[in-house]
Structure 1
């Protein structure tokens, strides 16, 4: 299993080197960027449904599920994203490959433990604006960086029907933004000003969870889940540099620069409450739904002088499930595949020009078992739309392909023979 882990790491790390920015969305201009993490591939392809306690997959959004692990699990996932941007007058395309998560889950009787890394949010935008007049002024806005989470969690089987759990997360990262303003001069020389901002981010937050399942009859089971994240604070160590620049044939040279003292700030991570239910036959099929309430109104921009957007409380609806024709089939590999599908709709909480930015997606997934093991390759497809092309905003039509590798095996077993 160690060799499989090493091979998967090499594969996914080579994929992520294709693009260092995890997003190309202009909406990552606001707050701490575009929230990238939406769960492991197996749950993400069910519209984000997190009600099922899986014995071989690590659930990264409700720590109570850790108590259901029966095998040590190593999970890693990545996404290749293509996005088409549209406004009323223009359009463009972008592609990104990013690492989604890296985690280990270890069962220990009624307990389950996890440790991992999640790239939580990402900033990666390039925006140009033109103010027309006798002397046209161009503005170019760029940003890179994001927030990562290192976490450790524990789940406990309180009764045969109830699991509880909690995890703690350390958030860290750097966000760099730049605003370049210039006017067209003579002899292809453009002069202007450049403002650079940098925020080093750190802080802690915790998650709590509980799950419930009970037999309805000899075949069917009812599932319930509850996950709660209290509000937390991220501390931002801010710096700013102002420069007078000359731009000649696309090359920017600094004439004079000065560091500006700016106050260190804090930004709130919103509280979140997710409630879900499901119904189905274990190892056969499941359907369920989940509602997530997020107190995004506490969010703010990184610098108080950034205008044009506010945040509101948001809600996300998830509907999905899976189907396995025959998980123990010896005659057909296709009957052992887990087929997943789902729908997701959310009000993201971002409001621009009094218009709420919404996101809708349809998902499809396949859990491909590896012969002779409990391990799986999970493949996910996601097609969706965020925002609108009207009201001077941007509509994003995206298609994502996600690959998750989940290796499950027994660890820490004493050998009977040397």
Structure 2
């Protein structure tokens, strides 16, 4: 099996990433891929801040946001049904000690719906959780191609949640997530004769894991007014650790490679009996997650806050694909951000109703490679543009940042993320004014 992925002598083949591949990061090799889910475009434009909730945007990082009171603007008859859909495009520059490459990805990020039911509210949707997408190669001591690695796939979530407003200021909620997907990793070893000539046949190892499992997320929001104009906002979410079932298969092949097209032709294949090794069906731990945030602002005018997230990635292990030079430590993220609205009720100046957002985040991913922590940093900006009726809007986000390091023969990623979402509001049930 793959024992060591060496990012030393990084020499990525030039490649284009298809839209269904959610990442082109070499660090997506580890674990179950790079974490894809960081919230809605509105959240990500504020540095990933997810404690703020309102009546016109979904916040599916905290299920307590689904509950609420009837709106005065709707004659106290109820709340809006909320729809949201989002996607993103990323441009990534990968830099090693002696080479660099560029890659890009365009992905669907989420589709969700929230339905009010009195003080209760229900939310459900679909989103990718992790993504795997890399093509790497390493060289031997003679600067000849030694290994080629590639991977694709990831984990997706279908979620269903319910929230309830206990008091005017306090709401609670819970949602269930069904996780599913597959991860495919391939490694090709190139062998040479004593004169440095590549042999006709190479060895290939293919691993596939089909993942599924259920986990839960609990949330609380508390939003009291502390003066006539200022509101305190706090939020807490907790997701207990959960098991994912992994059905695995492994194939060893002798192949011939066409270096012009990159195609690989198998001369023979051996399907490994993983049942005999006790690896056909294994369990992976989806780490527990705790997030707490606090902020202050004037409703429908401005808001600023901070959030701390702890992810117990040290609980993770994968007995199918072992990597010797890698460890998982507990991960953490600090997010700081907010928004500003010049005048939300302006009827004669469109730009005064626009929401302006900004934030930053500092993330310790929990991954250590060659004894180096893989950290991530991002600065984000965004706008919410009013469209249509019932406070619907289009949200645009922009983030620049970096991940990783060039120390210890590793790779640093510099990325630019562009995000777009539609947050639409409608009314399904409305009392008739005239008979």
Please tell me the TM-score bracket, short chain as reference. Answer: over 0.9
Question: C-alpha deviations, 1:78-120, integer Å up to 9, x for none?
Answer: 0000000001111010010001111000111100100100111
Contact 2:62–2:219 (Cα < 8 Å) also in 1 = yes
Name the counterpart of 2:238: 228
3-state secondary structure, aligned to 1:391: helix
Report matched runs for 1:236-247 at 5 Å. 236-247=246-257
Does the C-alpha gap of structure 1 residues 83 and 304 become closer, same or farther in structure 2, counting only changes over 3 Å?
closer
Contact 1:54–1:68 (Cα < 8 Å) also in 2 = no
Report matched runs for 1:12-411 at 5 Å. 19-68=19-68, 70-133=79-142, 136=144, 138-184=146-192, 190-250=200-260, 251-262=263-274, 263=279, 264-301=281-318, 303-411=320-428
Measured in 2, the distance between the counterparts of 1:165 and 1:362 equals 30
Measured in 2, the distance between the counterparts of 1:68 and 1:414 equals 19
Does the C-alpha gap of structure 1 residues 131 and 203 become closer, same or farther in structure 2, counting only changes over 3 Å?
same
Does the C-alpha gap of structure 1 residues 20 and 214 become closer, same or farther in structure 2, counting only changes over 3 Å?
same
Moved more, 43-52 or 93-102: 43-52
TM-score, reference length from structure 2: 0.89
Contact 2:191–2:198 (Cα < 8 Å) also in 1 = no
Question: C-alpha deviations, 1:260-313, integer Å up to 9, x for none?
Answer: 022121111111111101101000000111111111101123625332211001
3-state secondary structure, aligned to 2:27: helix
Measured in 2, the distance between the counterparts of 1:302 and 1:83 equals 31
Question: C-alpha deviations, 1:15-44, integer Å up to 9, x for none?
Answer: xx9512110000000000011110001111
Q: Aligned-residue CA RMSD in angstroms?
A: 1.9
Measured in 1, the distance between the counterparts of 2:23 and 2:50 equals 25
Does the C-alpha gap of structure 1 residues 256 and 35 become closer, same or farther in structure 2, counting only changes over 3 Å?
same
Indicate the structure with greater strand content.
1
3-state secondary structure, aligned to 1:193: strand
The one of 407, 413, 417 aligned to 2:430: 413
The gaps in structure 1 that reach 5 residues or longer are 1-16
Measured in 2, the distance between the counterparts of 1:184 and 1:141 equals 18
3-state secondary structure, aligned to 1:37: coil
Name the counterpart of 2:75: none
3-state secondary structure, aligned to 1:201: strand
Measured in 1, the distance between the counterparts of 2:164 and 2:319 equals 38
Measured in 2, the distance between the counterparts of 1:137 and 1:400 equals 32
User: Once the 2 structures are TM-superposed, how far is the Cα of residue 415 of structure 1 from its aligned partner?
Assistant: 5.6
3-state secondary structure, aligned to 1:126: strand
Measured in 2, the distance between the counterparts of 1:83 and 1:136 equals 26
User: Once the 2 structures are TM-superposed, how far is the Cα of residue 315 of structure 1 from its aligned partner?
Assistant: 1.3
Measured in 2, the distance between the counterparts of 1:293 and 1:227 equals 11
User: Once the 2 structures are TM-superposed, how far is the Cα of residue 249 of structure 1 from its aligned partner?
Assistant: 4.3
Measured in 2, the distance between the counterparts of 1:287 and 1:116 equals 28
The gaps in structure 2 that reach 5 residues or longer are 1-16, 70-78
Does the C-alpha gap of structure 1 residues 304 and 177 become closer, same or farther in structure 2, counting only changes over 3 Å?
closer
User: Once the 2 structures are TM-superposed, how far is the Cα of residue 357 of structure 1 from its aligned partner?
Assistant: 0.6
What count of residue pairs does the alignment treat as equivalent?
Answer: 401
Does the C-alpha gap of structure 1 residues 40 and 187 become closer, same or farther in structure 2, counting only changes over 3 Å?
same
Question: C-alpha deviations, 1:329-356, integer Å up to 9, x for none?
Answer: 1121110000000010010000111111
Does the C-alpha gap of structure 1 residues 399 and 136 become closer, same or farther in structure 2, counting only changes over 3 Å?
closer
User: Once the 2 structures are TM-superposed, how far is the Cα of residue 253 of structure 1 from its aligned partner?
Assistant: 2.0
